[in-house]
Amino acid sequence: MSSMVLKDLYYFHIPTKLVIGCGAASQVATEAKELSILHPLIVTDPGVRNAGIVDKVLGPLSEVGLSYSIFDGVEPNPKVSTVVNGVEVYQKEQCDGLISVGGGSPIDSAKAIGILATHTGSIMDYAGFGKVKSPIPPHIAVPTTYGTGTEVTNASMITDSDRSLKTGISSRFLFPNVAVIDPEMALSLPQSIGASTGMDALTHGIESYVSIKAQPITEGISLHAIRLVSENLTKAVAGDLEAISYMIIASAMTGFCFSYTRTAAVHGIAHTLGGHFDVPHGIANAILLPHVMEFSLEACPEKYMEVAKAMGEKIEGLSPKEAAQRSVEFVNRLLRDLGLPTRLRDIGCDKKKFPQVVEDTMKTGNILVNPRRVTGDDVLELLTRAY
């Protein structure tokens, strides 16, 4: 556990209202009316819309007479241009609120659209912490994956294509007003996406637990989320609704935590890879996770021992470092069971660009909260091992 004692000052605030349960998507219209939204912009991506998943939200809106507009131009690792296009639709259609339906990309895009709908300048003007100084339009987030946790976080990740940089925007005004956690919205998730987003949730749980910014409340939530993911991810990917229910809740739980602890070196490197090579975020996390865990565990073996225990590993009679190593072994087994890529070379990463990846990674705040100090040479070594 962390060495923090109660004389230390820390903050934990969960401003997002959660509506949880099978069929919860039918409550979106009620929540919109409570927020005085009369004409929302539905922010989604082509895959979610073509699969008919958005209809589970549109139907209830129509039933109560709420008009809406749709922006379905969101791609993985959403770009600055995507945000600009979404804002144009928001303003042209005279929208007064946002309903995001999808994985992390639509939800992050909706947050960014909300920023430019109420603030001047470019979205990159708000990169970093606390630069959004006033509220954005009311936002209801409806996740259709069980990984990002962004439906309950204060952050949005946007890719600046001109600089090949995936950048975070964080502000207390970016927490969605409502998160509708409906397992049935993730029931038709393709197995590959379920596996990768589930690994994102596991990474969130582990990194928020070992972060040097961890606090007693986040540690408890993070550990239980790790337990839920470890027990349910493979079953969820196979389509088990009960397992999906636990996964989508675990995803939100980790989102609560990393809003305050931040994520660490895995995410620092993965976000940079996303900016340079446009690789899926969950896949990048999955490949990097065991390598960064092995690198970091010597700094806090007792914590990684607790992670192994939460994963269900048998650690009786082992030293803290031996027990910690079991958590790495669990992750490697899980990757094999899920059939996910395990090498960066297999997902289109160019080793020649690693020096620039290292330079950009070292600029991220994620590196600063890693339990073991990370240098540029360390990042290059981790990339090389993962390659």
**pLDDT tens digits, one per residue of 92-145:** 999 999 999 999 999 999 999 999 999 999 999 999 999 999 999 999 999 999
pLDDT bin (cut points 50, 70, 90) of residue 34 is very high
Q: Which residue has the tokens 């839920």?
A: 228
**pLDDT tens digits, one per residue of 80-94:** 999 999 999 999 999
pLDDT bin (cut points 50, 70, 90) of residue 47 is very high
pLDDT bin (cut points 50, 70, 90) of residue 7 is low
Residues 110 and 231 in one domain: no
Per-residue model confidence (pLDDT) at position 168? 92
Residues 201 and 226 in one domain: yes
Residues 337 and 352 in one domain: yes
Q: Using an 8 Å Cβ cutoff, are 288 and 386 in contact?
A: yes
**pLDDT tens digits, one per residue of 257-280:** 999 999 999 999 999 999 999 999
Tell me the C-alpha distance between 207 and 224, whole Å. Answer: 13
Strand pairing of 155-160 and 165-170? Answer: antiparallel
In a domain, 125, yes or no: yes
Per-residue model confidence (pLDDT) at position 12? 84
Per-residue pLDDT averaged across 43-65, rounded? 96
pLDDT bin (cut points 50, 70, 90) of residue 163 is confident
Per-residue model confidence (pLDDT) at position 340? 96
Q: Which residues of 273-289 are buried (b: 16+ CB within 10 A; e: fewer)?
A: bbbbbbbbbbbbbbbbb
Query: Is residue 4 predicted with pLDDT exceeding 70?
Result: no
Per-residue model confidence (pLDDT) at position 165? 85
Per-residue pLDDT averaged across 52-77, rounded? 96
Residues 312 and 203 in one domain: yes
The domain of 105 spans 17-186
Residues 282 and 377 in one domain: yes
Query: Is residue 6 predicted with pLDDT exceeding 70?
Result: no
Q: Which residues contact 92 (CB under 8 A, 6 or more apart)?
A: none
Any idea what the CATH number is for the domain that residue 65 is in?
3.40.50.1970
Q: Which residues contact 6 (CB under 8 A, 6 or more apart)?
A: none
Measure Cα distances from 165 to 16, 45, 239 in Å. Answer: 29, 21, 35
Number of folded domains in the chain? 2
Residues 381 and 248 in one domain: yes
Query: Is residue 164 predicted with pLDDT exceeding 90?
Result: no
**In whole numbers, what is the pLDDT of the chain averaged over residues?**
95
Closest CA to 247 of 294, 212, 282: 282
Query: Is residue 299 predicted with pLDDT exceeding 60?
Result: yes
CA 208 to chain centre: 12
User: Domain ends where: 128, 151, 186?
Assistant: 186
Neighbouring C-beta atoms of residue 11, cutoff 10 Å: 7
pLDDT bin (cut points 50, 70, 90) of residue 348 is very high
* Cα 253–Cα 97–Cα 85 angle in degrees, nearest 5: 95
Tell me the C-alpha distance between 29 and 34, whole Å. Answer: 9
In a domain, 365, yes or no: yes
Per-residue model confidence (pLDDT) at position 162? 85
Q: What is the four-CA torsion angle of 144, 147, 153, 155, rounded to 10 degrees?
A: -100
Per-residue pLDDT averaged across 372-378, rounded? 98
Tell me the C-alpha distance between 207 and 370, whole Å. Answer: 8
Per-residue pLDDT averaged across 304-322, rounded? 97
In a domain, 1, yes or no: no
Per-residue pLDDT averaged across 158-173, rounded? 91
Per-residue model confidence (pLDDT) at position 1? 53
Per-residue model confidence (pLDDT) at position 5? 57
Q: Which residues of 143-159 are buried (b: 16+ CB within 10 A; e: fewer)?
A: bbbbbbbbbbbbbbbbb
User: Which pTM value belongs to this model?
Assistant: 0.94
Any idea what the CATH number is for the domain that residue 314 is in?
1.20.1090.10
**pLDDT tens digits, one per residue of 204-237:** 999 999 999 999 999 999 999 999 999 999 999 9
